[in-house]
Amino acid sequence: MDNRSEIREFLTSRRGRISPQQAGLLSYGTRRVPGLRRAEVAQLAGVSVEYYSRLERGDLSGVSDHVLDALARALRLNDEERTHLEDLARAAGPGPRRRRRPAPTQVRPSVQWLLDSMTGSPAFVKNGRGDVLATNTLGRALLAPMFDAARSATPNHARFIFLDPRSHQFWGDWDRAADVTVALLHAQAGRDPYDKDLTDLIGELSTRSDDFRTRWARHDVRQHHLGSKPVHHPVVGLLHLTYESLDLTTDGLSLVAYNAQPASDSEDKLRLLASWATTPDHDTPNAADTPGGVPGVRD
């Protein structure tokens, strides 16, 4: 992935969303494009226009933490965007371009044991590209449509969301799930711009999905820590779930666990899904025949 292009487009997109009024500046004349001008960002950051122009052309090599702090304040970056800017600067630093040590393609036995011990919560381990490398029984049951879509390949969240029409039914808030997925990929691209598998994935999705291309052009970034998601599961129907993401720092992977509010309808449905998942040779029934199911949806 072109680090200079990513820097240029990220900085341009961030200044394009801030009006002079929001930045406390006077505005004169008609502007051809929305947002701040380069000279205004330079003024707010306390650097010369020439220096900021160099940065926005994609050259962050040798930039100091002091300047990064000033840019973050001028562009009103949130914590995740600030981290992304630091990652871009680190990747643009002096020295040979070395990609990070590749994340493993499978989990250690002790990680799988940990997953298997989590019998009441769907859980899985993924890498920064969104490949699902391991699950517990309930996690595989929850993500059954994604595994079915992947067939013999490694299931991938982004491919399922943007290339499989069933994802629009599965994710109760598809637009939000799509936004978050692209923002996670952008953050990963900042951390490891020389990951060929990630570059190939982004190229594939950009070629095959207009929805992905539109979102990628926004340059939003996100870290995956916690949140909530509605899921329309083809077996048990609508689930309202929260999730927590824990970094497995030794491996460069993340463990994601879903939970339902205690004594809720969703908790009852998780129990039903767990029962279905442990039934030998189970078939995915018509969800219309399942209490609380979604009519007309099949796995």
pLDDT in tens, 22-36: 888 877 767 777 899
Name which of 2-6, 53-57, 72-76, 267-271 the model is least confident about.
2-6
Question: Pick from 210, 207, 227, 187: which is nearest to 91 by CA?
Answer: 187
Q: How confident is the model at residue 105 (pLDDT cuts 50, 70, 90)?
A: confident
pLDDT in tens, 43-86: 999 999 999 999 999 999 889 999 999 999 999 999 999 999 99
The CATH H-level (homologous superfamily) assignment of domain 3-91 is lambda repressor-like DNA-binding domains (1.10.260.40)
**Distance between CA atoms of 208 and 201, rounded to whole angstroms?**
11
Domain ranges of the chain: 3-91, 109-289
Beta bridge mates, 132: 126
3-state secondary structure of 139: helix
Q: What is the CA radius of gyration of the chain?
A: 22
The CATH number fitting domain 109-289, selected from 3.30.450.180, 1.10.10.10, 3.30.70.1230, 3.30.565.10: 3.30.450.180
